[in-house]
Amino acid sequence: MKVEITALITNKAVTPIRLVNGTTLLMLNGYTFWYAGASKNHQRWICSSYKKNCRVYIQINDRMQLVKITSYQHSHDRPSYGITSNGLYYKQR
């Protein structure tokens, strides 16, 4: 489930973040998304709170640009993350 992200997203403010455990997530409007697979042209990323029955997902193209977001509302508040001195994210409770 690990993805290497080297390109920065230049529109729609989709931002890759790296967790302390090495996992890469995408952040959009303060919500985070897990990599959930790729089709020919797009990658699909699902809300990191999908286990709380959140159905929001996004699709990005091979240039890391947001091409689709569901119209569902998140079923939860924005997750709270801290950042280590070397720029890694960790979830706060």
Distances (CA, A) of 60 to 65, 72, 76: 5, 17, 23
Number of residues that bind Zn ion (CB under 5 A): 5
> Of these, 19, 38, 46, 54, which contacts Zn ion (CB under 5 A)?
54
Closer residue to Zn ion (CB): 7 or 72 = 72
The interface with Zn ion within residues 4-43 (CB under 5 A) comprises none
Token pair belonging to 60: 């990005």
> Judged by CB under 5 A, which of 49, 58, 59, 89 binds Zn ion?
49
Decide: is 74 part of the binding site for Zn ion (CB under 5 A): yes
Cβ atoms of residues 12 and 65 within 8 Å = yes
